[in-house]
Amino acid sequence: MAGITKATPLDRVLGAAAKKLSKHRGLETVGDLLDFLPRRYVDARRMGELAEFSRGEHVVLVANVVSATTRPMRQRRGKMLEAVVEDGQGERVSLVFFSAYGHETRLRPGVRALCRGELQTYRQSWQLAHPDYVLLDDEDEGDVYRDGLVPLYKTVKQVSDLNLTKAMRLIFEQLDLGPDPVPQELREQHDLVTQAEAYRMLHLPADLAEVERARHRLRYDEALVVQTVLAQRRAKSRSEQSTPRLATPGGLLAAFDEQLPFVLTAGQKVVAEEIAADMAGEHPMHRLLQGEVGSGKTVVALRAMLAAIDSGAQAALLAPTEVLAQQHERSIRALLGSLGQRGMLGGDDRGTQVALLTGSMTKKQREKVLLDIVTGPVGIVVGTHALIEKNVMFADLGLVVVDEQHRFGVEQRDALRDKAIRAPHLLVMTATPIPRTVAMTTFGDMDTSTLSELPKGRQPIATHVVPALDRPAWLTRAWEKVAEEVAEGHQAYVVCPRIGDEPVDDPELTALERMWNAADSEGDEPEDEAPLRPMRGVLEVLDDLRQRPELRGLRVEMLHGRLPAEEKDAVMAAFTRGEIDVLVATTVIEVGVDVPNATVMVLMDADRFGISQLHQLRGRVGRGEGGGLCLLVTESENEASLDRLHRVAATTDGFALADLDLELRREGDVLGASQSGRRSQLRLLRLTHREDIALIEQARTDATDLVTKDASLMSWPGLEAMVGERLDETQAAFLERG
Ligand code: ADP
Ligand code: MG
């Protein structure tokens, strides 16, 4: 056989086992198998300790056979074998086989075996029924583990760990991985083993130190791939030409600043300068603006738009939902006042026009707006995805602002950018605090600005957990509190995790459940959990609240994604005007809804929401001067869930919560749109581990150097190949978010 490469199909190397690996674990090539890393290692030279395990657990134990008895079975034909093994401390467990055949000649007193199986009790003694085992002193089998460490893999039906290690020995004899992805210079500089060595050290380790070195190397690989792609993207956007967009003295921006009813915070000023400097450049701005809800991003973005208009261009603001687009349009109009009504009665001649473009507009309305955009009187267009459509043309698009980035993909952003003559400047706003490591990976091709202080006068939100089962009186108190706030002229939100009428596979429901599941499944092999109690729905809660004595006389209405668009708008408008006291809603209110008079939020089944989402949601209250109150109602008795809620209640620091969120979830869930792929997106790299943060930073520097020297990567074929390979299968999904 010729040399084995990563692309070699497994069935050419392994025969029958290849089918099982394909069927049960989706492994098709040698490369797939190499990436199927052992989950842990057992030292075959050291006797095990049964005491480390409890009943029902999967046991991996090195033990000596002390007796073996074969006897006929009562109910069936054939003989059974019971072999008793003793661990390092003299504890015993029986290995039971209901067909002795084949085992009786092997499991003889005196031999040492590595046994695996589920620990059960039978007549008050420990038992493993039909365990897997390997004879460690056996010439053939024991030799497979001659170096002492036994790699343990995720279970693959009908393929034992022993089979896998044998397969690895075979593969490594002829493996040729081609040029190493990490250039030799960098390997030497960082004292990294080669990729081939790394794989060998993980699958056929001599000791645990090797395992560590190998993991370090592969983590670096993961970081380097991502950072190389990002460095390429940065280089590309830096090579693009853009038109500088500067505010003119005495122009629209200056007029706006003059009439602004407040002064910008120090943070807003710094960010405004960063943006102005970017937009003055020859290359397109590529900036991420992050800041808590209410930190004043919109004003900052609007000032950038006005600078663009001053320079003769137009600006587009892309919002993820219709409700949000409308709200942006309203608040931009309000901030601009007469400066937003140029050419109209009472309009200011230094001003411009603002237009809204959404999918639900009539054809006639759309056509009028489209014409105004292409001929030029409209300086600011606010819209949803409708903005991206082909028939939308601009006179001269100079700035694109994208709100709530995580809901748009790269293609959509690019589609909008393509409507400009030269690459427009791009400002992305996000209210979801992004941990630095995620920012470095997911948004690594952008410069970032952060608004970390809230404008003056803002009161922090107080959050409390209401355990509804334990303390029903607290829930009653919560509704009383809502009534008290309303009595003082304020309004309240009640948020539910679902609508309540959905068929089982409703996307809104399953998305939430997926999130919930992702947040709570830590182990690699999820165990079957008890079915969850159905979540509170808007419809049910609306009925309940309308009947509650505590809320008698209050105007309670609902809002959710499946109401007709006009009804949604009407409800939102009525709530904004203060004609609704209590709004029962799904997470449709999550982003951007801005009613400063709303001061209380009650979150039903709060344990069903993710940490970042809870934080995002509670940002909807306390936008006025009255401060805000958020009540997290839960019936959960799960300690981890309660702990999560208490931690959300304990801090309003969105960045701390984002880190916590990341800690509790798996990276794949944070970065990727879906986890459905057979591998998680980052296999070894942990965005929350301190040493990995350093590694990502190192890789970022290295990647930038490499790309500066040769952006095509042709000088490093190994790296080029790894980037191509990984980009296809694992990274594309999360780069899409950048
Ligand atoms: P974000 O978009 O970050 O959620 P907004 O820009 O909508 O925040 O600002 C929230 C509210 O605070 C708005 O009503 C806005 O007018 C007001 N605001 C913004 N900047 C300031 C400031 N520097 N001082 C006082 N109020 C401000
Ligand atoms: Mg906003």
Domains, the chain, ordered by start: 40-152 (2.40.50.140), 219-239+683-736 (no CATH), 252-451 (3.40.50.300), 461-651 (3.40.50.300)
pLDDT in tens, 406-419: 555 556 667 777 77
The alpha carbon of 285 and the centre of ligand 1 are apart by a number of angstroms equal to: 23
Confidence (pTM): 0.64
Nearest ligand to residue 404 Cα: 2
The alpha carbon of 299 and the centre of ligand 2 are apart by a number of angstroms equal to: 9
Q: What is the pLDDT of residue 656?
A: 76
Q: What is the mean pLDDT of residues 565-579?
A: 89
Residue closest by Cα to atom 9 of ligand 1: 296
- Which tokens hold the place of 257? 């600043």
Q: What is the pLDDT of residue 655?
A: 72
Confidence band of 470 (pLDDT split at 50, 70, 90): confident
Q: 280 near 246, Cβ under 8 Å?
A: yes
Dihedral over Cα of 237, 238, 241, 243: its sign: positive
Max Cα–Cα distance, the chain, nearest Å: 102
Please give the backbone phi and psi of residue 56, each rounded to the nearest 5 degrees, phi first. 90, -15
Q: What is the pLDDT of residue 582?
A: 96
Edge-first strand listing for the sheet containing 461-467: 461-467, 628-634, 598-603, 491-495, 582-585, 556-559
Higher pLDDT, 697 or 672: 697
The alpha carbon of 569 and the centre of ligand 2 are apart by a number of angstroms equal to: 18
Edge-first strand listing for the sheet containing 378-383: 353-357, 378-383, 314-318, 397-403, 425-430, 286-291, 447-451
Q: Ligand 1, residue 264: give the atom nearest the CA.
A: 23
Cα–Cα distance for residue pair 188/398, rounded to 1 Å: 46
Cα–Cα distance for residue pair 305/302, rounded to 1 Å: 5
Cα–Cα distance for residue pair 578/597, rounded to 1 Å: 8
Does residue 298's CB lie within 6 angstroms of at least one atom of ligand 1? yes
Q: What secondary structure letter does DSSP report for 727?
A: I
- Ranked by mean pLDDT, the top range of 151-165, 451-465, 585-599 is 151-165
- What is the residue-averaged pLDDT of the chain? 83
Least confident stretch, 122-126, 550-554, 674-678 = 674-678
Cα–Cα distance for residue pair 669/674, rounded to 1 Å: 7
Nearest ligand to residue 328 Cα: 2
Nearest ligand to residue 455 Cα: 1
**Per-residue pLDDT at 678 exceeds 70:** no
Q: Ligand 1, residue 457: give the atom nearest the CA.
A: 25
Cα–Cα distance for residue pair 24/156, rounded to 1 Å: 6
**Per-residue pLDDT at 544 exceeds 60:** yes
- Which tokens hold the place of 692? 């990995």
Q: What is the pLDDT of residue 193?
A: 97
The helix (H) or strand (E) run that includes residue 401 is: strand 397-403
Confidence band of 477 (pLDDT split at 50, 70, 90): very high
Does residue 303's CB lie within 6 angstroms of at least one atom of ligand 1? no
List the alpha helices (DSSP H) in 280-357: 297-310, 322-336
Cα–Cα distances (Å) from 263 to 268, 299, 337, 351, in that order, read 9, 11, 17, 21
Does residue 296's CB lie within 6 angstroms of at least one atom of ligand 1? yes
The alpha carbon of 181 and the centre of ligand 1 are apart by a number of angstroms equal to: 48
The alpha carbon of 332 and the centre of ligand 1 are apart by a number of angstroms equal to: 11
Dihedral over Cα of 723, 724, 730, 731: its sign: positive
**Per-residue pLDDT at 681 exceeds 50:** no
Does residue 291's CB lie within 6 angstroms of at least one atom of ligand 1? yes
Cα–Cα distance for residue pair 417/407, rounded to 1 Å: 17
**Per-residue pLDDT at 509 exceeds 90:** no
Does residue 624's CB lie within 6 angstroms of at least one atom of ligand 1? no
Does residue 293's CB lie within 6 angstroms of at least one atom of ligand 1? yes
Q: What is the pLDDT of residue 520?
A: 32
Q: What is the pLDDT of residue 523?
A: 34
Higher pLDDT, 439 or 18: 18
The alpha carbon of 509 and the centre of ligand 1 are apart by a number of angstroms equal to: 32
The alpha carbon of 439 and the centre of ligand 1 are apart by a number of angstroms equal to: 24
Higher pLDDT, 199 or 651: 199
The alpha carbon of 502 and the centre of ligand 1 are apart by a number of angstroms equal to: 37
Q: Percent of the chain, pLDDT > 70?
A: 85
Q: What is the pLDDT of residue 72?
A: 85
Q: What is the pLDDT of residue 526?
A: 35
Strand 112-122 to 125-129 pairing: antiparallel
Cα–Cα distance for residue pair 623/450, rounded to 1 Å: 19
Confidence band of 386 (pLDDT split at 50, 70, 90): confident
Q: What is the pLDDT of residue 457?
A: 62
Q: Ligand 1, residue 265: give the atom nearest the CA.
A: 23
- The backbone region for 622, taken as left when phi is positive above 0, alpha when psi lies in -120 to 50, beta otherwise, is left
Q: What is the pLDDT of residue 665?
A: 58
Does residue 353's CB lie within 6 angstroms of at least one atom of ligand 1? no
Q: Which residue is associated with the tokens 């738009």?
A: 305
Cα–Cα distances (Å) from 426 to 106, 278, 358, 420, 534, in that order, read 70, 10, 21, 12, 43
**Per-residue pLDDT at 595 exceeds 90:** no
Ligand 1 binding pocket mutation candidate from 268, 299, 333, 450 (most atoms within 8 A of CB)? 299
- Ranked by mean pLDDT, the top range of 177-186, 227-236, 391-400, 660-669 is 177-186
**Per-residue pLDDT at 688 exceeds 60:** no
Q: What residues are paired with 436 via a beta bridge?
A: none
Ligand 1 binding pocket mutation candidate from 298, 324, 427, 458 (most atoms within 8 A of CB)? 298
**Per-residue pLDDT at 435 exceeds 70:** no
**Per-residue pLDDT at 82 exceeds 80:** yes
Over 466-510, what HEC string results? EECCCCHHHHHHHHHHHHHHHHCCCEEEEECCECCCCCCCCHHHH
Nearest ligand to residue 619 Cα: 1
Q: What is the mean pLDDT of residues 475-483?
A: 94
Least confident stretch, 229-238, 510-519, 710-719 = 510-519
Q: What is the mean pLDDT of residues 150-156?
A: 87
Residue closest by Cα to atom 20 of ligand 1: 296
- Ranked by mean pLDDT, the top range of 13-17, 365-369, 429-433 is 365-369
The alpha carbon of 245 and the centre of ligand 1 are apart by a number of angstroms equal to: 24
Strand 79-86 to 58-72 pairing: antiparallel
**Per-residue pLDDT at 686 exceeds 70:** no
Confidence band of 592 (pLDDT split at 50, 70, 90): low
The alpha carbon of 293 and the centre of ligand 1 are apart by a number of angstroms equal to: 9
Q: 385 near 245, Cβ under 8 Å?
A: no
Nearest ligand to residue 266 Cα: 1
The alpha carbon of 562 and the centre of ligand 2 are apart by a number of angstroms equal to: 24
- Ranked by mean pLDDT, the top range of 528-537, 557-566, 646-655, 720-729 is 557-566
Strand 556-559 to 378-383 pairing: unpaired
Residue closest by Cα to atom 10 of ligand 1: 294
- Which tokens hold the place of 323? 């409700």
